[in-house]
Amino acid sequence: MRDIIILAVIVLLVAILGIVLGFSSSPNVNDVTNNTTFNVSSGGPIPLSVLINDVKTEEWYRGYDNETVNWMESLGDKYAWVSSEGYVIMDKSDSNKIPSIYATDVDYWEIFSADVLEKHSLGNVENPREIVLVKNVKYIGEEAYYYDV
C-alpha cells in the first residue's frame, strides 16, 4: 500500500511538472501588452531604414546590440518615433494617426496608446535606448512645452 501511495505522489509530481513546463515553453498569446501609453516627439516619424543606418554609423550609438539591429532590419518598411526612452516603431497606417507639428519656440509631444508586440534594447551602455514595436495606435492628444525667447 505504501508503495502505491509513493508511486501516486511521484506520478502526480511528474504531471504537475509537465504542465508547468508545457505552459512555459509554448508560445503565449498574452505576450502582447495591450493599451500601453506612449509620449513621443511631434517632430515626425523617421523611416526605420534611416534609423538603422544612423545606429550603424553615428558615434552616439557606439556599442549597439547587433541582434537588435538585425531584428529591426527584419521589420521591413516601418517608421520610428522618438520617445525619451528610445524609439517606438510602427507601420505607416499607425504612424499616420499621429500628427507632426514643427515649431521653433515650442516642443510638442504626442500621446497615444498602442499594443506592444516586442521590446528590445540597443544595448548601448553609454546611451541606452529601448526599441518598442507597436500596433493598433489610438491617438490621445498632445502636450506643449513653451520656451522663453
pLDDT tens column, 8-46: 445 444 545 444 444 333 333 335 678 899 999 988 899
Number of domains comprising the chain: 1
Q: Is residue 68 part of a domain?
A: yes
Q: pLDDT tens across 63-111, in order?
A: 899 999 999 999 999 999 999 889 999 999 999 999 987 777 788 899 9
Q: CA dist 109 to 35, 65, 80, 106, 116, Å?
A: 18, 28, 14, 10, 19
Phi-psi domain of 92 (left: phi exceeds 0; alpha: psi -120 through 50; beta: other)? alpha
Confidence (pLDDT) at 6: 58
Q: Is residue 8 part of a domain?
A: no
Contact 79, 91 (CB under 8 A): yes
Q: Is residue 10 part of a domain?
A: no
| CA distance linking residue 121 with residue 65, whole number of Å | 7
Confidence (pLDDT) at 93: 97
Q: Is residue 15 part of a domain?
A: no
Contact 119, 132 (CB under 8 A): yes
Q: Is residue 22 part of a domain?
A: no
pTM (predicted TM-score): 0.74
The type of residue at 19 is I
Model confidence at 124: pLDDT above 50? yes
Low-confidence winner among 1-10, 43-52, 54-63, 92-101 (lowest mean pLDDT): 1-10
